Amino acid sequence: MSDTHAQTVRFVRDTMLPEQAPPATAVGVIGWLRANLFSGWFNSILTIIALGFIYLVLSIVVPWLVSPTWDAASLTECRGILKEMGSEGHFGGACWGVIRDRWVQLLFGFYPSHLYWRPILALVLLAVALAPVLFGEHVPKRLIWFSAIYPFIMPWLLWGGSVWTPIMVAAGLAVGYVAYRLIAVTGGTLLALVAGVVAAMVWWLFLLGPVSGGFDSIIPLGLEGVESRDFGGFMLSLTIGIVAIAISLPLGIVLALGRQSDLLILKSICVGFIEFIRGVPLITLLFVASTLLNIFMPPGTNFDIILRVIIMATLFASAYMAEVIRGGLAALPRGQYEGADSLGLNYWQAQRLIIMPQALKISIPGIVSTFIGLFKDTTLVSIIGLLDPLGLSTAIRADSAWNGIVWELYGFIALLFFICCFSMSRYSMYLERKLRTGHR
């Protein structure tokens, strides 16, 4: 080959080939099926077996779920309807008549029917109060004031009584704050904090009743009272769970900080409390709240059973919450603490502005898991005589009309708890994405 010919031959293409559509078997639904379900002979066999198993399960579950027994007034009528359809046996069909007949009781227990508007209003106001806390950037910031007063509105709506009682309870916080500010001027922060707590406790234990009674005698305003024994159903589980969740988080933060404190007495108290609570089953604490606690109370003391259960559930959750938050604090690099010191921040400023926000972001999965576990553990109150949904299901099955009903009641209760727990887990994932807590 001559040199001239070698210089005229091109080895690099100077034009692009026209684009071609990908093969139909590599894109779309068919491509996804080939790549994920039928990528080889072994995966193809597993896919066919799985599809057969799913078909077998659905062929049993779907007819059971769509059973036309909503109008039945007893289990006998359900069986008669199913027999006419030719669907007899244990898996012939569900008896949904029990849900139609008792769903209100499963939700509200024995709460007076003419007062159902009060728990419904409390639930609606709860959504309003949580909006600035959970979705602060999407709602008006002024709603945070309503979030602050909602803890005093909710018990008044549910239990009723004089309107002056929640007002005086809120006044106790103001008394404690005033005492804190007065002592902080001349004494240390710790002494001022102790004085504020003591002042608030004195107000709540000794002055709240006489003061609220005096105002009520002058201006009687209130709602019809409801006894705690009338509480029940899913409303009871929500009440215990929401209050315990709301209080256990700040209490867990305090316990976690106390466990890492350099003050020996404070650290010993926090460690002892956390280890003791974590070493005792929740059901034991509930038994203590329902029976043994009355032994140590002064004669004639009327300590509400639901309040006792809420206190024990809160203490139980706060101990686990403290360990979750302590893990978040331990995960922070030492440089964060040193950076706070270099800025001249004191202990509380460093915790509020630098340390605790990062620790809480790291601990979001553990915090939400603790919340979900606590909410599910509210079903244990049925063991001490409170009629939560599980306790009511036992009472419903004792009725001769519904004796033998199991799956329908438990399925309905499981659906209620699943909706709440699934919502919490979805919000946890949303919050993690929003704060970018994961590794990128």
Q: How far apart are CA 282 and CA 381, in angstroms?
A: 10
pLDDT digits (tens, 9 = 90+) for 74-98: 999 998 888 888 776 556 788 999 9
The yes-or-no verdict on residue 4 having pLDDT over 70 is no
Q: pLDDT over 90 for what percent of the chain?
A: 55
What would the mean pLDDT of 367-375 be, rounded to a whole number?
94
The band of 334, judged by pLDDT with boundaries at 50, 70 and 90, is confident
What would the mean pLDDT of 396-400 be, rounded to a whole number?
90
Amino acid of residue 32: W
User: For position 297, what pLDDT does the model report?
Assistant: 66
Dihedral pair phi/psi, residue 162, rounded to 5°: -70, 140
The yes-or-no verdict on residue 3 having pLDDT over 60 is no
User: For position 289, what pLDDT does the model report?
Assistant: 83
pLDDT digits (tens, 9 = 90+) for 108-148: 999 999 999 999 999 999 999 999 988 877 888 888 999 99
| Block residue for tokens 């029917």 | 113
Burial (Cβ within 10 Å: 0-12, 13-18, ≥19) of residue 6: exposed
Kind and range of the H or E run holding 320: helix 305-331
Q: How far apart are CA 264 and CA 257, in angstroms?
A: 13
The yes-or-no verdict on residue 440 having pLDDT over 50 is no
Average pLDDT, the chain: 88
The band of 290, judged by pLDDT with boundaries at 50, 70 and 90, is confident
Please enumerate, as own/partner, the contacts of 83-91 that have beta carbons within 8 Å and a separation of 24 or more: 87/63, 91/60, 91/64
What would the mean pLDDT of 258-286 be, rounded to a whole number?
92
User: For position 13, what pLDDT does the model report?
Assistant: 66
Angle at 419 between CA 375 and CA 326, to 5 degrees: 40
The yes-or-no verdict on residue 8 having pLDDT over 60 is no
Dihedral pair phi/psi, residue 425, rounded to 5°: -70, -40
CB 114 within 8 A of CB 223: no
The band of 237, judged by pLDDT with boundaries at 50, 70 and 90, is very high
The band of 209, judged by pLDDT with boundaries at 50, 70 and 90, is confident
Q: How far apart are CA 69 and CA 400, in angstroms?
A: 18
User: Packing angle between helix 407-435 and helix 364-377, nearest 10 degrees?
Assistant: 160
* CA nearest neighbour of 368 among 249, 276, 199: 249
Amino acid of residue 179: A
The yes-or-no verdict on residue 7 having pLDDT over 70 is no
Give the side-chain half-sphere CA count within 13 A for 292: 6
The yes-or-no verdict on residue 437 having pLDDT over 90 is no
The yes-or-no verdict on residue 240 having pLDDT over 90 is yes
* CA nearest neighbour of 359 among 247, 267, 250, 253: 253
User: For position 347, what pLDDT does the model report?
Assistant: 84
Q: Residue 430 CB: number of other CB atoms within 10 A?
A: 12
Greatest mean pLDDT range, 158-162, 261-265, 428-432: 158-162
CB 433 within 8 A of CB 103: no
Q: Which residue has the higher pLDDT, 297 or 303?
A: 303
What would the mean pLDDT of 193-218 be, rounded to a whole number?
90
The yes-or-no verdict on residue 157 having pLDDT over 80 is yes
